[in-house]
Amino acid sequence: MTLRPWLQLVRLSNAPTIVSNVLVGFGVGMQGTDGPASWAGAAPTSLAMLLLYIGGMALNDIMDEPIDRAERPQRPIPSGRIARSSAALFVMACFTISLAVLAAQSALALAYGFVLMIAIVIYNVIHARHAAAVILMGLCRGLVYVTAALAAGGRPAWEALGLLSAGLVLYVLLFSIVARGEAGNQRRRFEEIIILAPMFAILAGELMHSAAPAWLTILGRSAFLLWTLGIAVFLQSPKRHVGRAVGWWIAGISLLDLYHLTRLDEPAAALVALACFVLTLAGQRWIAGS
C-alpha cells in the first residue's frame, strides 16, 4: 500500500519499453566499437535511462497537479498519498544519479543524457499549454536511442541511428496526437494516422543497411505490424477505447525495438525486447500506462 502510489506516480508499467529502447541504441553503438563488442554496458545505461524516465513521469504529475485536482483527483499527489515536496526530491535524485551513471560511461553519453533531461523538463513545463509539445515527447524517445548508442563507447553509425530515431519519434508523435485529440474531445478520423504511425517506423528500419537473415527480419516486422493492425481494428470497433489503445501503442514500442534488433542481427536482444513487450502489457493491467 505504501509502494503502490509511487509506482503509479512513475507509471512503472511502461518502463520496460525504455529498456528495449536502450538495447536498440546500444546495438547500433556497438557496431562502431573497435574490437569485440560487449553488451556489458547496456545494464548501467538502462539504469540511467530508467531513472530519467521515472523522474520525468514524477515531474509530469508535479506540474499537472492543478489539472489533476480537478480531473484526476485519484492520482498520487492530489489524493495526498504522496507529498509534492517528496515527489520533487525524488525527481532531483533520479536526474542526478542518472547523469552520474552516464558520466561514468562517456562524456558524449553524459552530454546527450543532459540534453534528454532538459527536453524532459521543458516538455513537462509546457505540455499542458501547447499542443506542439508532443513533438518533444517523441524527441525524448529518439534521444534514448542516441544516448544509449554513445554509451556503447564506439563510433555509432549516425545514418542508421538517425533513421531509427526518426522512426521512433514519428511513431510516438502520431499516437500522442491521437491521444491528445481524444483527451480534448476533438472529433478525428483515426484511420490515416493509425496507418501512418507503424509505416513510418518500419520504413526507417528498412532504409537501414542490414546483413541479418531475411527470415529473422520478417518475424520482427510481422510482429510489429500485426500488433499495430490489431489496435487499428480495435479502434474501429464499437468497443473503441482510446486510453486502452494508447497503452497498447506504448507497449508496441518494444515490438518496434524487436524489429530493429532483428535488422541489427541481434536475436538474443530481440528476445529481451519481446519480454519487455510482455512485461509492459502485464504491468498495464495493474498500473495504467497513460
Q: What percent of the chain has pLDDT over 70?
A: 91
Q: How far apart are CA 250 and CA 231, in angstroms?
A: 11
On the question of pLDDT at 264 being above 70, the answer is yes
Question: pTM to 2 decimals?
Answer: 0.91
The percent of residues in the chain predicted with pLDDT above 90, rounded, is 54
- Whether 186 has a pLDDT exceeding 50, the answer reads no
Q: Domain span at residue 65?
A: 4-31+40-284
> Sorting pLDDT into bands at 50, 70 and 90, what band is 245?
confident
Residue 94 counted as domain residue: yes
Residue 122 lies inside a defined structural domain of this protein: yes
Any domain includes 148? yes
Query: Is 51 inside a domain boundary?
Result: yes
Alpha-carbon distances, residue 25 vs 81, 150, 155, 159, 176 (angstroms): 36, 8, 12, 13, 22
**For residue 209, what is its C-alpha cell?**
543497411
pLDDT of residue 189: 53
pLDDT at 195: 65
Tell me what pLDDT residue 149 has: 94
* Max CA pair span of the chain: 57
Q: 12-71, pLDDT tens digit by residue?
A: 999 999 999 999 999 999 886 665 567 888 999 999 999 999 999 999 999 988 888 888
- For residue 188, the model assigns a pLDDT of 53
Query: Quick one: pLDDT at residue 35?
Result: 58
Average pLDDT value over all residues in the chain: 87
Q: Once rounded to an integer, what is the mean pLDDT over residues 233-237? A: 81
Give the pLDDT confidence score for residue 71 in this predicted structure. Answer: 81
The model's pLDDT over 210-228, given as tens digits with 9 standing for 90+, comes to 788 988 999 999 999 999 8
Q: Is residue 289 part of a domain?
A: no
Residues 97 and 9: their CA atoms lie apart, in Å, by 19
Q: In CATH, what number is assigned to the domain containing residue 223?
A: 1.10.357.140
List the alpha helices (DSSP H) in the chain.
4-9, 15-30, 42-63, 65-71, 84-103, 107-126, 133-151, 158-183, 191-207, 214-235, 242-263, 267-284
Task: Decide if 212 is inside a domain.
Answer: yes
**Is residue 195 assigned to a domain?**
yes
179 or 157, greater pLDDT: 157
Domain count within the chain: 1
Q: Which residue has the higher pLDDT, 66 or 254?
A: 254
What pLDDT sits at residue 24? Answer: 96
- 8 Å CB contact between 110 and 99: yes
Q: Region 130-159: what's the mean pLDDT?
A: 88
